[in-house]
Amino acid sequence: MKKAIILLSGGLDSATCLAVAKRDGFECYTMSFNYGQRHRSELDASRRISAAANAVRHIEFPLDLSLWGGSALTDFSIPVPKVAAKADEVPITYVPARNLVFLSLAAAWGETLNCRDLFIGVNDVDFSNYPDCRADFIAAFAEAATQGTKAAVAHEKWVVHTPLQTLSKAEIIKLGTALGVDYGNTVSCYDADEKGRACGVCASCRLRKAGFLEANVPDPTHYR
């Protein structure tokens, strides 16, 4: 079996990505990041999701992005907004260069596993205007990883799989449901409490609630 590293945030999208990687026959290694985010509940969710999928190994990587903040998710002095950002602005919930950093560390682990496949749950439809969720960024990263690692010497290429790139939230939920994902194990809220209970009103919660409604799938989210 080919090996793949799946970036696992603990949320709905990354849980679906893991299920897709399993469906496609990959031997799955999962990676989450303790990056100074507002709550640990998404890290707890990542462990649950990885265990339920029988991943070969799960790593929780310590990485303190709160040292410089710049985001409502890593700076406690910036409140999580409860209204959607304007269509032409990057929301304050964007964590500077987060996916660039995460993918780079996943590639570093992949080198030790002789793995050239990464999975990430980025999306062009419900991407909240985050620049590091765009297809152009993913393609550029894959090329940079190919040129900057042993892959270049071995004449191999990195592949960054984005199976959710063009799907709506409802389509993602339908896909994951068909693959047996237990969305009750996931935490998507930007402002969840330590028990993983969602606020129900942040941008991420709104997208998630609308997705379950449109998919006509019961919403298993734990709200406070």
Amino acid at 86: K
For residue range 140-173, what is the model confidence (pLDDT) as tens digits? 999 999 999 999 999 999 999 999 999 999 999 9
Quote the CA–CA distance of 179 and 49 in Å, as a whole number: 13
Q: What is the CATH number of the domain that holds 174?
A: 3.40.50.620
In this predicted structure, what is the pLDDT of residue 124? 84
User: Tell me, what DSSP letter sits at residue 198?
Assistant: B
The answer to whether position 187 is within a domain reads yes
Q: Which domain holds residue 196?
A: 3-215
Task: Count how many domains the chain has.
Answer: 1
Query: Is pLDDT above 70 for 222?
Result: yes
pLDDT band at 126 (very low <50, low <70, confident <90, very high): confident
Q: Are 137 and 102 in contact (CB under 8 A)?
A: no
For residue range 14-29, what is the model confidence (pLDDT) as tens digits? 999 999 999 999 999 9
For residue range 62-86, what is the model confidence (pLDDT) as tens digits? 999 999 999 999 999 999 998 877 7
The answer to whether position 220 is within a domain reads no
Rounded to the nearest angstrom, the gap between the alpha carbon of residue 86 and the centroid of all alpha carbons in its chain is 23
The answer to whether position 156 is within a domain reads yes
In this predicted structure, what is the pLDDT of residue 127? 65
Quote the CA–CA distance of 196 and 217 in Å, as a whole number: 20
3-state secondary structure of 186: coil
